[in-house]
Amino acid sequence: MNKIANVAEGPAIETVQINVEVNGVAYTRYVEPRLLLSDFLRQELGLTGTHVGCEHGVCGSCNVMVDGSTVRSCLVFASQLDNAKIETVESLGRVNALHPLQKAFWEKHGLQCGFCTPGMLMTAKELLDRNPRPTRDEIREAISGNLCRCTGYQTIIEAIYSAAYEMQGATNG
Amino acid sequence: MKPAPFRLERPDTIQALCRALAKHGDSARILAGGQSLVPMMNFRLVTPEVLIDINRVDGLDYIRLDGDALAIGAMTRHVTVKESALVKANVPLIAKAYDHIAHVTVRNRGTIGGNLSHGDPSSELPAVAICLDAKFVVSSSEGNRTVRAAEFFKGMFETDVSPGEFLSEIRFPVAARNQRFGFDEFSPRHGDFAIAIATVALEMKGDTCVSASVVHGGVREMPGQVADAEAALRGKVVSGEQVALAAKATASIEPTLQNYHGDAAYKSDLLRALTARALSQAIGEG
Amino acid sequence: MAKESHFLEMSRQEEQPRSKYNWIGKSMKRVEDPRLLTGKGKYIDDIELPRMAHAAVMRSPHAHARIVSIDTSKAKKLPGVLLVMTGKEAAEVTGPTASFASPPVTQWAIATDRVRHVGEPVAAVVAESRYIAEDAIDLIEVQYEELPPVVDPRDAITSTGDAVLHPERGDNNVAMHRILNFGPLAEDFAKADHVVKRNLRWSRVAGMPMETAGAVVDYDEGTGKFTIYANTSMYNYVGWLIAVSLKVSASQVNIIPTLAGGSFGSKLFLHKVPTIAATLARAVGRPVKFIEDRMDNIMSSDNHASDRIYEAELAVKDGMMTGLRFKVIDDYGAYLQYGYGTHGNALSQVTGPYKIRSVGMELTAVFTNKGQQGAYRGFGSEVANFVLERLVDAAAAELGEDPTAFRERNLIEPDQFPYKIPTGNVYDSGDYPAVLKQAKTMLDYDGWRKKQAELRKQGRYIGIGVATCQERSVFSSTEFWFLNPNETPGFTLTSSPEGIQVKIDPTGKAFATINAPFWGNSPETMVVQILAEHLTMDPADISVSYADSDAGLNGTGPGGSRYTVMIAGAITGAAKKIKTKLLKVASHMLEADVGDLELVDGHVSVKGTNQKKSIPEIALHAHYFRLSMPLEDRELTSGIDATHVYDHPFTTMPKEDRSDLGVFYPIMGNMCHMPVVEVDIETGRISFLDYVAVHDAGTVVNPMTLKGHIRGGTAAGIGTAIYEHLHYDKAGQLTTASFADYLIPTAFEVPQDVRAGHVETPSPFTEFGIKGGGEGGRMGAPAAIASAVEDALRPMGIRVESLPISPRALREKIRESERLKA
Ligand SMILES: Cc1cc2nc3c(=O)[nH]c(=O)nc-3n(C[C@H](O)[C@H](O)[C@H](O)COP(=O)(O)OP(=O)(O)OC[C@H]3O[C@@H](n4cnc5c(N)ncnc54)[C@H](O)[C@@H]3O)c2cc1C
Ligand code: FES
Ligand code: FES
């Protein structure tokens, strides 16, 4: 562990060094052990696409991918993630080059306020990585840990379902 | 909702873990998947001085057959257990219970050892462990000791793991051919902790039940055996009538764990219904 | 009551409904979405200013207590802490928060000497990080002297002594008691051949958006000006009240709206959070971010919703409902920010879609030691829908009639509009039988009834629910105050406008600036579709932004299902001005008479010829070629721009004695919800087998987004009906203060397919005949689900009288019924 003064007027806070790859970019950072991954991404790296809705693991707004699996970024400390590969919603598509999932959410009206959306997208991405042709029931199961207060979920399920077919179509032919 | 400061230890080996535990004693907490501990830290209900992150410790993440037991390393993630063919084939009751545990993202990170060490009476796994008479391997720099499930749980959020120790392995007896299992629970929403749980393991000889293990969960500070229900089944041909009698016998369990979502009367009702359903499932009529 | 055609003369409608549109009525993809989908949407917590510090608030653990002393010395010494401020210290510089109640209820953003609910702020900390701010809170020592908590609203009526929350307002906890009767009430009850009575309970829930409330405030000591970023609404309506609290002039507060991650009313006029952040920023001399965490938000975001106990009666004569009367106690919690607006609101449609001719209300509003009420999708009218529909179902059941047949007979008929209801409000238009009929057809109501009977023989409990409800839209501000005491009505405002600014840039693209925030609805998409319709432009050539309060025109913002109707009015006004200018410039370019020109397909052309100029050509000319146009035309200025502020399309004043409340919510939507549920009688679980929701929101601008409101609102209504409850125990502790206990439905608790249908009865008062639909399914779902569950358990004689019908609560009823049978 290192001891460095990391805030101007603050105390010497014990920090730990982590090397992480986030959305393909390598970072070396010294972080306070208690810094939540959600705060690390949002505050240290400026990746504000990851949203924080409850900070107690229930809403799923903060879901990001760590080493290929989703985690609640509000329930993991950045200090635990040395050498991890992290992907956030910013890794999917860009405004002018949407990922098929983002496109499908757009077309099927799978979002209203958009606050749950990054977490939903990452959860959906994980599902399709593991199961490229899910049934609607499998999709429902997969997103059941993500709360959405706006949509009633139906259009989210449709969006993921149609994205799966879109993506399959693209790879099959 | 940010956690209080703590110091972090990141041991890589079991030896280093033992040393860290010995060094910090009761000022330290083990951090496994963090899916129960970190919410409590974010609420500042728990403010450990030292956190010993065991995610990097080698040799705690495995599922293997070992004699007549299926041994699962404490740091095996829920997702691994849930999807394991070895588990499905050898301890089918665990697989049944996992249909009710949390959500995919929580299961990706949470561990079976963390779950059982947490000692949450509303969790599925403690009830299953008691039902199957699983053995818990508790380790420290002094060596290993083995504890029966029924003795491992000491109370709500309390286990037999003392400062300086950790849970390293859980050993579930491999199901015998003549064993039948059932699991059911009620939770208000999909994936929530249970308000009540019933889980059963029956040893059958033909249609007759030779021995029965009927366990409740979520209704008292600890899951436990429903002796009267077991008695109602033992030595009987298990039919609808017997199922009803056994379910009725759960009335002897007085629910003491109450909250907004479940008062005593409701939990009693649930326990009766769920026991019947778990039994029907076990005998293939559910 | 009869058709009141004279009201039509008051219509200011300029754009009549058309049989064909270019863009209105299309399920256009939302223009808001790409940035939200890519993580580029800027929500409040995404705002970061240089040197920004972070605030956290210490909250009362007690429901009711006097603050004896606060010791902040340890907290102040913690490295990284910049400021610790108690309520008393804050009150030296910042006044009480705004109250729309009359007489007002004094409330401080941070409590000064007394806390009145669990979670009420008692001190605030500013630190280098939120982590350190929370560390400091743990070091603040507060000594409380506990006072008796008032939790049961019935007890509140008789509270005395220390249990009285606001002694300066009287010696008990009754905030107001008021009786209002409309129509021949006594006669209707005297002549009734059947009177239905029910005691009903609607419990406390909240909008609970996924994003909490927050603010980032920068204070410029040199100019004395606050720049406030916040996810609040109504900032161009009553935002200046924050300046009043801060004791500065309105021009010294600029409020910049951010995207809101949902509101559902909860952020309607979010002011306490920005006020706290501003107070701290001024004191500490650095920008301050204060974002509620979920605990803060559940306990104390001024957003709890109606919490009511009803004794209600319905008079029926010859199968026709005639009179409705009720006593209602409403538990407003510890303060009263919006007065009794939720009851004013409910009186706009209290008789539902039915020909009920008299109404009596006895309202007792009380204070208790709970979070204060705010707004939530329905603003009290969803409760009135539930109450009325429970009575209607009861009447049908007691008279032995099918609930849809009973309703059908009692519905206002399509040729009776505009229809004045007893309270004075007017329903503009509707076709209620058509809505009911479509729902029945879509559900296959008769088919389900047969299936229900068959399954009942197998011991399954299937229920078919029905609710035919109103969704009033476009509030008029009179509802906020007309229930205040006649002698002290308070600030009797009568405006609730909505403004827009539209510019055509030199390249011919349109740029609109609106004066209300995005909070999950689709304001940009609505503007693009409606403006494209008016200007015959390609939607891709229109963009939209949000004005801050410095630049803003009047704008009331979303709420009460008003935004689409109101912005359509504003757009219509602005587009007319833009069109006039386009024609004028084109007339000079084409050397033709304005009267001979028309705007078609993005071009101004001379009628009957092929001479034309495109909007980009005209725009360029208008911006840069003033000398090429006649100088005599003095009014012709460079550029193309217009602003327009649209006032409520049709509202009138209440009578002084409140015997008639005037027209205050006339743009009337209607809906029929029909869920089919199954009850597991052993566990009390309710599951959905089918769900049909037919809505009439007048002319539909975007069917896809309207369906979104119907389905999303239905999911929220399911939460209200079955899962959610802000439950306080006897000590006034909130026992459901986390997302693990406050149960928002997941994808598993909602129907797999809420089959939504539309009937379109255009309004004669609004532009294009649009009605509001934002509050959506939540207006009808709780009533419909209660109906379905009661129907399922009819063989047991169980009544659903209290929400939420949680599995526990339902099982309790079933157990009782089983016990009686045994
Ligand atoms: C939204 C949500 C829903 C959930 N739903 C369910 C559910 O339905 N059913 C259910 O059972 N669980 C549920 N959980 C909890 C989940 O199963 C957790 O993973 C589990 O309870 C704890 O495991 P963990 O590995 O995350 O342990 P941690 O949270 O890291 O630790 C839990 C406790 O155990 C101690 N500990 C951990 N490992 C050891 C060890 N090897 N030896 C000694 N002590 C140790 C820790 O110090 C801590 O006190 C849910 C969680 C969330 C966030
Ligand atoms: S913010 Fe992480 S689960 Fe809600
Ligand atoms: S879109 Fe608003 S919470 Fe899901």
Contacts of B116 (CB under 8 A, 6+ apart): B74, B125, B126, B129, B136, B152, B159, B167, B170
B252 and B191 belong to one structural domain? yes
Q: What is the mean pLDDT of residues C230-251?
A: 96
Phi-psi region of C333 (alpha: psi -120 to 50; beta: other; left: phi over 0): left
Angstrom distance (rounded) from CA A67 to CA A76: 13
Phi, psi (5° rounding) for residue C25?
A: 90, -5
The helix/strand/coil state of C438 is helix
Residue C200: is its pLDDT beyond 60?
yes
pLDDT for residue A3: 45
Task: Say if residue A10's pLDDT is above 50.
Answer: no
Mutate to test the pocket of ligand 3, among C210, C294, C521, C739 (most ligand atoms within 8 A of CB): C210
Average pLDDT rounded to a whole number, residues C142-151: 98
Alpha carbon distance B237, C313 (integer Å): 56
Q: What is the pLDDT of residues C721-773, one digit of tens each?
A: 999 999 999 999 999 999 999 999 999 999 999 999 999 999 999 999 999 99
* pLDDT value, residue B192: 94
Q: CA C119, CA C134: separation in Å to the nearest integer?
A: 15
Q: Provide the pLDDT confidence category of residue A12 given band limits of 50, 70 and 90.
A: low
CB atoms within 10 A of CB C326: 22
Residue with tokens 């709890």: C304
User: What pLDDT sits at residue C822?
Assistant: 85
Question: If 0-12 CB within 10 Å is exposed, 13-18 middle and 19+ buried, where does residue C627 land?
Answer: exposed
Would you state the pLDDT for residue B278?
98
* Percentage of residues in chain C having pLDDT higher than 70: 100
Question: What is the rounded distance in angstroms from the CA atom of residue A89 to the CA atom of residue A78?
Answer: 18
Chain A residue with Cα closest to B104: A142
Q: Copy the structure tokens of residue C155.
A: 């007890």
pLDDT band at A168 (very low <50, low <70, confident <90, very high): confident
For residues B72 and B149, membership in a common domain is answered with yes
User: Once rounded to an integer, what is the mean pLDDT over residues C466-491?
Assistant: 95
Interface of A with B (CB under 8 A): 1, 13-14, 16, 32-34, 36, 39, 55-57, 60, 63, 69-72, 74-77, 79-80, 82, 123, 126-127, 141-142, 144-146
Report how far ligand 3's centroid is from the alpha carbon of A120 (Å). 9
Q: Domain extents for chain C?
A: 10-41+497-646, 415-475+665-821
Task: Write the residue with the smallest CA distance to atom 3 of ligand 2.
Answer: A57
Alpha-carbon gap, residue C612 to C822, rounded angstroms: 86
Render pLDDT for B141-159 as a digit per residue (tens, 0 to 9).
Answer: 999 999 999 999 999 999 9
Give how far the C-alpha of residue C612 lies from the chain's centroid of Cα atoms, to the nearest Å. Answer: 46
Q: Does C259 have pLDDT greater than 60?
A: yes
Question: What's the token pair of residue C783?
Answer: 């009533």
The pLDDT of residue A173 is 39
**Interface contact B35, partner A, CB < 8 A:** yes
Ligand minimally distant from the alpha carbon of residue C41: 3
Q: What is the pLDDT of residue A8?
A: 44
Q: Which whole number is the average pLDDT over A109-135?
A: 98
Site of tokens 């109504």: C234
Tokens 């990746």 appear where? Answer: A47
Which residue range(s) make up the domain with B201?
Answer: 179-282
Query: CB burial class (10 A; 0-12, 13-18, 19+) of residue A102?
Result: buried
Find where tokens 């709420």 sit: C559
How many CB atoms sit inside 10 A of residue B12's CB? 11
> Both B208 and B157 in a single domain?
no
Q: Whose C-alpha lies nearest to ligand 1, atom 39?
A: B114
pLDDT above 90 coverage of chain C, percent: 98
For chain B, the domain total comes to: 3
CATH number for position B137: 3.30.465.10
- Give the pLDDT score at C776: 86
- Helices and strands per DSSP (H, E), number in chain A: 5, 6
Nearest bound ligand to CA B82?
Answer: 1
pLDDT above 70: residue A46: yes
Contact C721, C656 (CB under 8 A): no
Question: pLDDT per residue over C646-667, tens digit each?
Answer: 999 999 999 999 999 999 999 9
Q: What is the pLDDT of residue C99?
A: 86
Chain A within 8 Å of B47 (Cβ-Cβ)?
no
* pTM of the predicted protein model: 0.97
pLDDT band at A171 (very low <50, low <70, confident <90, very high): low
The answer, yes or no, to whether residue C399 has pLDDT greater than 80, is yes
Report d(CA A126, CA C143) in Å as an integer: 50
Question: With a 6 A CB cut-off, is A57 part of the ligand 1 pocket?
Answer: yes
CA B110 to centroid of ligand 1, rounded, Å: 6
Give the C-alpha separation, C70 to B134, whole Å.
52
Domain boundary among B157, B173, B189: B173
Residue C570 phi/psi, 5-degree rounding, is: -65, -45
* Set of chain A residues whose Cβ sits within 8 Å of the Cβ of B1: 55-56
**Is-contact C229 C258, C-beta < 8 A?**
yes
How many CA atoms, within 13 angstroms, populate the side-chain half-sphere of residue B171?
Answer: 13
Q: In the CATH hierarchy, which fold is given to the domain comprising C415-475+665-821?
A: Aldehyde Oxidoreductase; domain 4 (3.30.365)
Q: What is the share, in percent, of chain B residues with pLDDT greater than 70?
A: 99
Q: Is B77 a domain residue?
A: yes
The predicted-structure confidence for B170-211, as pLDDT tens digits, reads as follows 999 999 999 999 999 999 999 999 999 999 999 999 999 999
Q: Which of B1, B191, B263 sits opposite C293 (nearest CB)?
A: B1
What CATH number is given to the structural domain containing B201?
A: 3.30.390.50
Domains defined along chain A, listed by start: 2-91 (3.10.20.30), 100-171 (1.10.150.120)
Helix residue spans in C591-688 (DSSP H): 615-624
**What is the rounded radius of gyration, in angstroms, for the C-alpha atoms of chain B?**
19
Query: A72-104 pLDDT, tens per residue?
Result: 999 999 999 999 999 999 999 999 999 999 999
Mean pLDDT of B90-111: 98
Last residue of a domain, one of B108, B140, B173: B173
Are the Cβ atoms of C806 and B191 closer than 8 angstroms? Answer: no
Tell me the CB-side half-sphere exposure of residue C109, using CA atoms within 13 A. 27
Whether A31 contacts A44, CB under 8 Å: yes
Kindly determine whether residue B104 and residue A77, on different chains, have CB atoms separated by under 8 Å.
no
Neighbours of chain B (3+ CB pairs under 8 A): A, C
B154's enclosing H/E stretch is: strand B153-155
pLDDT score for A64: 98
Alpha carbon of B253 to those of B256, B278, C815: distances in Å?
A: 9, 17, 18
Q: pLDDT of C612-622, one tens digit each?
A: 999 999 999 99
How far C55 CA sits from the closest chain B CA (Å)? 12
pLDDT of res. B286: 54
Residue owning tokens 């004689």: C797
3-state SS class at C10: helix
According to the model, what pLDDT value does residue A2 have? 46
Residue B108: inside a domain: yes
Of C134, C295, C735, the CB nearest to B260: C735
Q: How far apart are CA C67 and CA C73, in angstroms?
A: 17
Q: Are C677 and C690 in contact (CB under 8 A)?
A: no
Mean pLDDT of C481-496: 93
C337, C372 contact by CB (below 8 A): yes
Residues C414 and C430 sit within 8 Å (Cβ to Cβ)? yes
Check residue A4 and give its pLDDT: 44
Is pLDDT above 80 for C376?
Answer: yes
User: Which residues are within 8 A (CB) of A167 and not within 5 positions of it... i.e. 6 or more apart?
Assistant: A100, A128, A132
Q: Are residues B48 and B73 in the same domain?
A: no
Question: Are the C-beta atoms of C380 and C341 separated by less than 8 Å?
Answer: yes
Same domain, B74 and B151: yes
A1 vs C92, higher pLDDT:
C92
Question: CA Rg, chain A, in Å?
Answer: 17
Q: Is the Cβ–Cβ distance between C541 and C508 less than 8 Å?
A: yes
Pairwise CA distance, residues A80 & A101, whole Å: 30
For residue C807, give the nearest of B4, B188, B265 by CB distance.
B188
The fold of C10-41+497-646 is: Aldehyde Oxidoreductase; domain 4 (3.30.365)
- How many beta-carbon pairs below 8 A join chains B and C? 70
CB of B113 within 8 A of CB of B60? yes
Q: CB within 8 A of C524, min separation 6: which ones? A: C30, C31, C32, C518, C544
HSE on the CB side for B178, CA within 13 Å? 10
Ligand 1 near B113 CB (within 6 A): yes
Q: What is the pLDDT of residue A170?
A: 61
Each residue of C331-347: pLDDT tens digit?
Answer: 999 999 999 999 999 99
DSSP assignment of B129-195: HHHTT-EEEEEETTEEEEEEHHHHEEETTEESPPTT-EEEEEEEEPPPTTEEEEEEEE-SSTTSPPS
Rounded CA gap, C280 and C87, in Å?
11
In a domain? residue B1:
no
Residue pair A39/A51 in contact (Cβ under 8 Å)? The answer is no
- Phi then psi for C321, rounded to 5 degrees? -75, 135
Dihedral of CA atoms C789, C795, C796, C800 in degrees, nearest 10, equals 30
Give residue C188's pLDDT: 98
- B11 and B32 fall within a common domain: yes
Task: Assess C26–A contact: CB distance below 8 Å, yes or no.
Answer: no
